[in-house]
Amino acid sequence: MPGDDTPSEDGSECTTSMRVLETIGEADGVDPIDLEPPLNDVVDASALDLLFEPTTGDDMTRHGRVSFTYRTHDVTVYSDGRVELE
């Protein structure tokens, strides 16, 4: 599956979109699987997973962030993998 290899809370590999769901779920006290509306109704989760993924042979570090609103949160995802809520 596209995305990076940042471990999730349980130690498994985790995509950017899954980190967003885990962060929102933790903040709202909801299992990420049960979040409504689905993340894809708000942002293209596959594109989010690919956004900061390095390309083969690319030595450049990606910089930037993407922000969107999901549920009652302003979500910012940074190129270093951080997910922040406001």
In 3D, which of 47, 76, 74 has the Cα closest to residue 64?
A: 76
pLDDT at 4: 43
- Domains in the chain: boundaries: 6-53+62-85
pLDDT at 2: 39
pLDDT in tens, the chain (86 residues): 334 445 445 545 789 999 999 999 999 999 999 999 999 999 999 999 988 776 666 666 678 999 999 999 999 999 888 999 99
pLDDT at 14: 85
pLDDT at 3: 40
